[in-house]
Amino acid sequence: MNFKIVSYIVGRIMQLEAVLFMLPLTVSLIYGEKASAISFLLSALIALAIGFFLVHATGKNDKMLFAREGFAIVALAWILMSAVGALPFVFSGQIPSCVDALFETVSGFTTTGASILNNVEALSRGMLFWRSFTHWLGGMGVLVFIMAILPQDSGRAIHIMRAEMAGPVVGKLVPKIKNTAKILYLIYIALTAIEVVFLLFGGMTVYESLVHAFGTAGTGGFGILGDSIGSYSPYLQWVITIFMLIFGVNFNLFYLLLVRQFKAVAKNTEIWVYIGIVVVSSIAITFNIYSMYESISDSVRHAFFQVASVITTTGYSTADFNAWPNFSRSLLVILMFLGGCAGSTAGGIKVSRFIIAIKTFFRDIRQMIHPRSVSGVSLDGRKLDDKTIHGVNSYFALYLILFLCIFLLISLEPFDFETNFTATLACFNNIGPGLGAVGPASSFAAYSAPAKLLLSLAMLLGRLEIFPMILIFTPSFWKKNK
C-alpha cells in the first residue's frame, strides 16, 4: 500500500470540502443566520487544517497507484468527508448529537436521504442547503470531481474512478480520464441547471429550486418541508418525477446523445428495460390505488412519482405510500432492490446487473439441457467476458449476505419486522424512507445510536458498491508488501 498517494488525495478532498463549505456559508449570510455561518467557517478551517496536514505531512513524491490504493482512497475519503461534513450540524447545535449528525451527513453524501429529523423545518436555511448540497456532490462522486480539476500525470487514476463510480463495468467516454470526468460533471451541472429553470417556472423560489434540484440530481431526497414534495403543485411534482428518472439513466448515454451516436443509445438494453419497468409498475400501482384518490390524474401522478422516486433511489414522496394497499407497497419494496441504471447517480443493485444475472441464468438453463452447447452472455450486442459475469454473480451473493447480516443486527431494535427490514433496505440501497415506522411521513430518529452507526455504514456500503468498504476492513489489504 502506497500511503503517500492515499494521504495526498484524501488531503486534497479535505481541501476541496473546505472550499465547498463556502457555498452554504454564503447562503447563511444571505439569510442573516450568523450562528450557522460561524459553524460553517469553523468547519472549513478544520477541513483545511486536516487537508493541509495530509497533503504536506507525507510529501507527494511517489505517485504509484494501483487498484488497491484506488479502493483505499475512495473508502477513506468518503468516511473522512462525512465526518467533517457533519461538523457544522454539531457546532451550530441544530443536530446536537454527533451520531445523529454523522448519520445525516452520510445519508446526504451517499444520496440516501434518510433523516433523523422529526421537524425538518426547524433547521436554518444554510444547514438545509448544505444537507441538500451533499446529495449533489455525492451523486456523481467527489473523487470524480477532484479528477476533473486536479492535474493528472498518471494514467492510473482510472482505479479511483472505478472504485467510486457505480455499475458492473466502468469505462471512459474519451481517452483522457480528466476529460471524461469533466464531461460527466458538465452534463451533470447542465442537467441540474435545466431542472432549476423548470422549477423556477413552477413558482419555486431560487432557494427552493436549488435545494430540490440538488436532491433530484444526486437522487438523494432531502427536502425542506415536513411532507417532502407533497405540498407543491402538480406541475412541480411532474418536473421532479421526470428529472428523477433522467438522473437514474447512465450518463454515458447523454454523452452519446451529445455526440450524435443515436444508434448506440438505441442499442442500449438497460435504458429500455429501465423505462419498461417504470411504466409497467406505475400503471399497476395506478390501478391499485385508484380508489384512494379523487381523480385519475392524481393517482397517475402519485404512482409515477413514487415509482420514479423509489427506482432511482431518490426518496422524495408526494403521498404517504405507507398507507397504500399491500400490492403497491410490495411492488415498491421490490423496486427498492432494483435501483437505477449503472453509471447514473442512483443507488441500488442496478438494472444492468439484473439483466446480466437473468441472461446468465437462461444460459445456464440452456447448458443443462444441452450440456455441450457453447454459448455466451451478451449485452448490447457485445459478448460479456467471464470476469464481468463472475463479478455480477459475486456482487449478488455478497449483497445478500451483507444485507442479511445488517438486517439481523438491526432486528435487535424494538420495532416490527416491516420497519426493520425496510429501514435496512432503504439505507443499504440509498433510498431514504422505508415502510412502517420509517415510512415517508416519519424519520429514523427512534433508532438507537449503534443502530444509526450501522445504518450509516450500510449507506456507505451501498453507495460505493460494497467492495471499497469491505476491503478496508481486511487486514491483508493494509500490509505493505502483500
Site residues (vs other proteins, CB under 8 A): 67, 152, 154-159, 171-172, 174-179, 259, 264, 385
If you write DSSP's letter for every residue of 398-442 in order, what string do you get?
Answer: HHHHHHHHHHHHHTTSSS-HHHHHHHHHHHHTT----SGGGSTTS
Question: 106 or 157: whose CB is closer to other proteins?
Answer: 157
DSSP type of residue 121: G
- With a CB cutoff of 8 Å and minimum separation 6, the contacts of 390 are none
Q: What is the spatial distance between Cα 39 and Cα 28, in angstroms, rounded to a whole number?
A: 10
Pick 176 or 366: Cβ nearer other proteins: 176
User: Smallest gap, in angstroms, from Cβ of residue 262 to other proteins?
Assistant: 13
What is the Cα–Cα distance from 65 to 86, expressed in whole angstroms?
A: 30
Q: Is 237 helix (H, G, I), strand (E, B) or coil?
A: helix
Helix (H, G, I), strand (E, B) or coil at 38: helix
Identify which of 190, 189, 218, 213 has the alpha carbon closest to the alpha carbon of residue 201. Answer: 213
Alpha carbon 41 to its chain's center: 27
Shortest separation between residue 159's beta carbon and other proteins, angstroms: 7
Minimum CB separation of residue 428 from other proteins in Å reads 30
* Least distance CB 59 / other proteins (angstroms): 21
> ∠50-56-62 over CA atoms, to 5°?
125
Q: How far is the CB of 155 from other proteins (least distance, A)?
A: 3
Toward other proteins, which CB reaches closer, 47 or 146? 146
Residue located via cell numbers 487514476: 157
Please, what is the minimum distance in Å from the beta carbon of residue 69 to other proteins? Answer: 12
